[in-house]
Amino acid sequence: MASVPELSLPPVVQTARWIFRPTLLLDRAREECGDVFRLRFFPGRALVLTSDPADVRRLFTAPPETVPTATGNSPIAPLVGEHSLLTLNGPPHLRQRKLLLPSFHGDRMRAYAEIIEEAANDRIDRWREGDVMRLQPHMSAITLEVILRAVFGVEDAARQTELRTAIENLLLYTASPRAAITAIRTLRTGELVGPFARLAGEMDRLLYDEIAAHRQRGGLEEREDILSLMMCARDEDGESMTDVELRDELVTLLLAGHETTATSLSWAFERLLRTPHALARLTDEIEDDAYLDAVIHETLRSRPVVPIIGREPQEPIAFGEYELPVGTFAGASLYGTNHNPAVYEDPKAFIPERFLDRKPDTYAWIPFGGGIRRCIGAAFAQMEMRLVLRAVLRRVRLEAVDPAPERIRRRNITFVPQHGTTVRVRTVDRAPARPEAVAVS
């Protein structure tokens, strides 16, 4: 059987490319090797990636116990905890997923639309004509506000501020260069160390306080926030989630749902501002869902925030003509699959129209992964993108400060716009447009 082709660059160079120009690395690997290739990072393990939808389907539909996630061995594992949906495998993962799924059901989403619109309009109220700013922190502020209210259900203003500060301090630290060193120590010991431990401890204290406050307040069945729903959920044996499980899932939803959505929104604006006809059409058709959804699908295709996902196959699995033995670190390139030229004509171009007459394909459009581990917040994220884009484009005209596209930069495990989508506010309408009926689909 043929062996998986390898990129002809030394591991040190591959690692440097992955750190500084990750898409150059992935693009070159595809050009040299095709849909399936092996990367070697220094001093880590080799990783086999595929961008072929047929392999992606095989990976996502394999029995879950045969393809456990590799996230349990990553530096975020001690932060999200041992009960996190992101790190669990097999039956415990399934149990936890069943407990969480109802919170993300379509009907539930309607309750969050108002929170999202309010958070977006409050943020827009701060913008002034002529402001030059990075949109990314503004989008992060909106998505954090939404998580605090829709997911954590924090109502008390003082508690909201305290928790927001603790979370921001922790996230700021994870993005700092010092965090990379702490991450290596964390990986070695399997425990949070140094500032990580202190900052996470502060956040945990506030989360446990909030869980206790929810319990004390009672009336959980009537409340609509996700924490209340999780507290009411029962598994097949009638068991509810423990406080530690609740804490782990809250941190998971925060880490998985906050920056990912904010960055996808930043990319949507970055792409639209470089594609004037798409921006003009979207502005004209902003009250309709059709073009807005096509823009969101195309943004998530061309700028998938999570570029790759890793698995640890426990049985041999085939990627194309290659059979990967047990012990191979293997995964799907979400970036590569979403840019596969066999599926997408002119894959580097931003063309929302390609999604006007076709729905995204389950295994060729994979910004949210797939199968049993598909992002549980995918509908939530797309609704949030829809409502925030609409709120901004109803009231604000933006322009790019530099007309050149912003490069894709890597931050932790995500792909972000190099300059955080730097824009100038041309005009801003002071009166927030608040439609009578909130459109949710």
Interface residues with ligand HEM (CB under 6 A) are 69, 71, 85-86, 97, 151, 252-253, 256-257, 260-261, 264, 305-306, 309, 367-369, 373, 375-377, 380-381
Question: Token digits for 68?
Answer: 């456990």
At 40, phi and psi to the nearest 5?
-125, 115
**Closest CB to ligand HEM among residues 7, 170:** 170
At 250, phi and psi to the nearest 5?
-65, -45
Q: For the CB of residue 220, give the shortest distance to ligand HEM in the complex, in Å.
A: 19
Q: For the CB of residue 374, give the shortest distance to ligand HEM in the complex, in Å.
A: 7
d(CA 429, CA 392): 10
d(CA 375, CA 381): 10
Contact between 253 and 151 (Cβ < 8 Å): yes
Edge-to-edge, what's the strand order for the sheet holding 46-50? 36-40, 46-50, 330-333, 308-311
**Closest CB to ligand HEM among residues 7, 292:** 292
The full DSSP string for 315-367 is S-EEETTEEEPTT--EEEEHHHHHT-TTTSSSTTS--GGGGTSSPPPTTT--T
Q: For the CB of residue 268, give the shortest distance to ligand HEM in the complex, in Å.
A: 10
**Closest CB to ligand HEM among residues 70, 124:** 70
Residue with tokens 């919170």: 103
Eight-state DSSP code of residue 69: B
Q: For the CB of residue 189, give the shortest distance to ligand HEM in the complex, in Å.
A: 23
Q: For the CB of residue 95, give the shortest distance to ligand HEM in the complex, in Å.
A: 11
Question: Token digits for 268?
Answer: 């949507």
d(CA 379, CA 245): 23
Q: For the CB of residue 259, give the shortest distance to ligand HEM in the complex, in Å.
A: 9
Alpha carbon distance, N-terminus to C-terminus of the chain: 48
**Closest CB to ligand HEM among residues 7, 319:** 319
Please list, in sequence order, all residues whose beta carbon lies within 8 angstroms of the beta carbon of residue 118, skipping any fewer than 6 positions away. none
Query: Which residue from 255, 223, 260 is spatially nearest to 384, judged by alpha carbons?
Result: 260
Q: For the CB of residue 33, give the shortest distance to ligand HEM in the complex, in Å.
A: 23
Query: Which residue from 109, 91, 306, 140 is spatially nearest to 225, judged by alpha carbons?
Result: 109
**Closest CB to ligand HEM among residues 7, 268:** 268
**Closest CB to ligand HEM among residues 74, 121:** 74
Eight-state DSSP code of residue 151: I
Q: For the CB of residue 262, give the shortest distance to ligand HEM in the complex, in Å.
A: 9
Report the residue number whose CB is nearest to ligand HEM.
377
Question: Token digits for 338?
Answer: 């979403």
At 324, phi and psi to the nearest 5?
-95, 120
**Closest CB to ligand HEM among residues 138, 428:** 138
**Closest CB to ligand HEM among residues 420, 428:** 420
Edge-to-edge, what's the strand order for the sheet holding 422-428? 132-134, 422-428, 396-400
In the three-class reduction of DSSP (H, G, I as helix; E, B as strand; rest coil), residue 307 is classed as coil
Q: For the CB of residue 338, give the shortest distance to ligand HEM in the complex, in Å.
A: 11
**Closest CB to ligand HEM among residues 115, 309:** 309
